[in-house]
Structure 1
Amino acid sequence: KSLPDMIECHNINTYLFLIVNFCLVTALLRKLKQQSRESVEEKRPRLLKALKELGDFYLELHWDFQSWVPLLSRILPSDACKIHKQGINIRLDTTLIDFTDMKCQRGDLSFIFNGDAAPSESFVVLDNEQKVYQRIHHEESEMETEEEVDILMSSDIYSATLSTKSITFTRAQTGWLFREDKTERVGNFLADFYLVNGLVLESRKRREHLSEEDILRNKAIMESLSKGGNLMEQNFEPVRRQSLTPPSPNTITWEEYISAENGKAPHLGRELVCKESKKTFKATIAMSQEFPLGIESLLNVLEVIAPFKHFNKLREFVQMKLPPGFPVKLDIPVFPTITATVTFQEFRYDEFDESIFTIPDDYKEDPSRFPDL
């Protein structure tokens, strides 16, 4: 049928929900992953050149997640990340692979970027407990893609964006009677402290694609977490889901659809269930003139490990126009109720054994070890 005929057809909603909900979502997911791989490859020559020009170093940074919600902070994760950089190779050791919407993956993990390897083999994650590894940009099977679609279709669609349009920095003060600019040591580095003003986290959550069963299950998980349940004890295994009952047919005509105001076309299927919120955060940042690494160099390193969402938040933040120096300690909004404090504890130029940038001989490949990567 032509598009005008389809829009006027009474079974348009059934058609959309049976076809779009699976085929289109699957196609979009594959396309997004393809674009992500292509974007990485486009940036690859520039990143390799930048890494080659950097000295070899060891960098250690700590992540501490906090919340103003009672009891929530004590179940939030923390992590000490160790980064080794030599030539065009990078190794990141961590216990926190991802932290998204109150779900985290923990373990003894190492991420290795080998700039000399072929693009499809240059980035691997090692599970040092199970002694297996997975290539990050492997081509996924049909079953892996279908399982990821099932997870997406049974979870809230959530997006959070840092708005920095009106952001300003003012020097933090210390003292009661005689106020003076706050300067303290962070790790081994003397730093000037600033207040971050006008930092806003804009969040958007949609759930019209969820069944009542999905909503109740997700609510039960969150209630368990709020009572002190362990993040890793929750069962997030994908479950094959039946399609939702299609919404009632609509009577929108083709003429009504194409004449709608730009960006306000009428909904042809299920009405949106959307919650938007804005939260202004009070944050501090410590800038050090003594730190040996420049922000541009840090951005090049973060570009390599950007697939990990909390590191991507850090990269977004330090891309702003910051006060003079290097941000050795900063607060980053992650969710409306959660912030992360990132502290650069140690930095030194060093050389390392090349073996730390290779896959150990006794590790076996497991392409499905980390289904979200």
Structure 2
Amino acid sequence: MSLPNSDEEVVSKFPLHECVFVGDVRKLSSLLRSHDVTVKDKHGNSALHLAVMLGRKECIQLLLAHGAPVKVKNLAGWSPLAEAISYGDRQTISSLVRKLKLQAREQMEQRRPDLIHTLNKIQDFYMELRWDFHSWVPLVSRVLPSDVCKIYKSGSRIRLDTTLVDFTDMRWERGDLAFIFQGDKETGDSLTVLDNKAKVYQKVRYEETENEIEDEVDILMSSDILAAQMSTKAISFSRAQSGWFFKEDRKETVAGLYKSDVYTITGLVLESRKRREHLSVDDLQKNKAIIESWTRGNTQNLDPNGEPVRRASLNPPPERGVDWNSYISSFPGEYPSLGRELVYKETSRNFRATLAMSDDFPLSVDMLLNVLEVIAPFKHFAKLRQFIAMKLPKGFPVKVEIPILPMVTAKITFQKFEFRESNPFELFEIPEDYVEDPLRFPDL
């Protein structure tokens, strides 16, 4: 089949992708010496995406060995790992999980010297953030938690005290936690979480054991493939108005200290997508109890010999008979199916958010982003950082209301801030009577 000239040009732009598609391992190995392994084709797929979707195991290992990124997404919003879960080959999923964690560590280690340098330049301080969670469903709002987080900064050390241990889906866990970042220590010893009630601590490790990797693979193979993101493509900021007849720009004094201009944010869309073509009816019936057990740290399902029972690979999806020209010549994002038929559900919800911006707050947005980067292992702080990293109006966001779940909005108020000469050194040390428990927080 001959192609129009424009399509022939498109085909020639992606030699790595074509090698993967036709399974030419030798040529792929040669091309990887001179071609960029991160390039995406017109559908947003990397060569690794295609290798995973087509089950090209040798190509997958070659691409990973040459640093193919695992976290990238195609036009549909799916990563190579998501496609690997759909395909169902356990060895491939394990390889991608290992590489994903390695790439995350490498990125963090590259960023770390700049982060430490920036933290050292910021004057020491104490800050309080109040979190209030509420919902448009009245009965849900009544039971949602609130929390006052205390943040101490001294040199390149940061401590966060919180009573909200975790907030995932519509479940949360209360406690008395301290998260300590010691920037002056080696990478593997810099992050620690204290459970002040149980008097135990856990080092946040950057490398997982073989069993932990395989446990994670079991969870991925047994769960829905999920993707959620806050779309800001159509976002706009407008001054909030007050008054009945004579409207004027709304102003507010937050925490009795910070004179602020109030903005309404429109165009925020929370998009949630779910796939489950890799799960059988039997899987769906069993999985809820299994995953809840894993979440509590009970990861071991043992056989009679005391060995963990691992989830087996699925049978490969049927061959689709799609050739390279058909794939690359289709409209962007509308290529023929290469793997299993998707079992797919997508939901989206539009949100309005509000924002109070003040010129009186003594910390800058850039300084706050560096502090939030340190405490990002707490999921709700990661969402706050993602929001504040947007291009905001002038000032500092002393009060923010943002959606964090389809039914739940968080209101975050910076209710106290003071620069200090220094914070007590012992705040950033593990108390002598605390005992190490490496499994206290399974998600860290």
CA displacement at 1:298 relative to structure 2: 0.4
Query: Which amino acid is the alignment partner of residue 365 of structure 2?
Result: I
Which whole-Å CA distance do the structure 2 matches of 1:293 and 1:299 have between them?
Answer: 10
- Say whether 1:215 aligns with 2:290: no
Give 1:57's match in structure 2, choosing from 109, 125, 131: 125
Question: Partner of 1:33 in structure 2?
Answer: 101
- Say whether 1:371 aligns with 2:439: no
Give 2:241's match in structure 1, choosing from 132, 150, 173: 173
> In the alignment, is the contact (CA less than 8 A) between 2:124 and 2:155 conserved in 1?
yes
Give 2:393's match in structure 1, choosing from 299, 323, 328: 323
Q: TM-score, normalised by structure 2?
A: 0.72
Equivalent residues in 2 for 1:117-128, closer than 5 Å: 117-128=185-196
Which whole-Å CA distance do the structure 2 matches of 1:276 and 1:17 have between them?
Answer: 18
Q: TM-score, normalised by structure 1?
A: 0.84
- 5+ long unaligned stretches in structure 1: 6-11, 222-230
Equivalent residues in 2 for 1:1-373, closer than 5 Å: 20-69=88-137, 71-187=139-255, 188-216=257-285, 237-238=298-299, 242-243=311-312, 246=315, 250-253=318-321, 256-262=322-328, 266-267=336-337, 269-350=339-420, 351-373=422-444
CA displacement at 1:17 relative to structure 2: 8.5
Which whole-Å CA distance do the structure 1 matches of 2:178 and 2:135 have between them?
Answer: 28
CA displacement at 1:54 relative to structure 2: 0.5
Which whole-Å CA distance do the structure 2 matches of 1:139 and 1:292 have between them?
Answer: 38
CA displacement at 1:261 relative to structure 2: 2.5
Tell me which moved more, 196-205 or 281-290.
196-205
Which whole-Å CA distance do the structure 1 matches of 2:298 and 2:244 have between them?
Answer: 54
CA displacement at 1:244 relative to structure 2: 7.6
> In the alignment, is the contact (CA less than 8 A) between 2:267 and 2:350 conserved in 1?
yes
Query: Which amino acid is the alignment partner of residue 342 of structure 2?
Result: L
Q: Which has the bigger relative contact order, CA under 8 A and spacing at least 6?
A: 1
> In the alignment, is the contact (CA less than 8 A) between 1:148 and 1:371 conserved in 2?
no
Which whole-Å CA distance do the structure 2 matches of 1:78 and 1:285 have between them?
Answer: 19
Q: CA RMSD in A?
A: 3.0
Which whole-Å CA distance do the structure 1 matches of 2:443 and 2:121 have between them?
Answer: 32
> In the alignment, is the contact (CA less than 8 A) between 1:82 and 1:92 conserved in 2?
yes
- For 1:259-302, what per-residue CA distance to the aligned partner results, in whole angstroms no more than 9, with x for missing partners? 33235555454322122233211111111111110101101111
- 5+ long unaligned stretches in structure 2: 1-19, 24-53, 58-83, 302-308
Call closer, same or farther: CA 1:285–1:145 in 2, change over 3 Å. same
Query: Which amino acid is the alignment partner of residue 94 of structure 2?
Result: T
**Among the aligned pairs, what percent are the same residue?**
54
- For 1:42-65, what per-residue CA distance to the aligned partner results, in whole angstroms no more than 9, with x for missing partners? 111111111111011011112222
* Structure with the larger strand share: 1
Question: Partner of 1:228 in structure 2?
Answer: none
Give the 3-state SS of the residue equivalent to 1:343 in structure 2: strand
Aligned residue pairs, count: 353
- For 1:223-242, what per-residue CA distance to the aligned partner results, in whole angstroms no more than 9, with x for missing partners? xxxxxxxx99x968445564
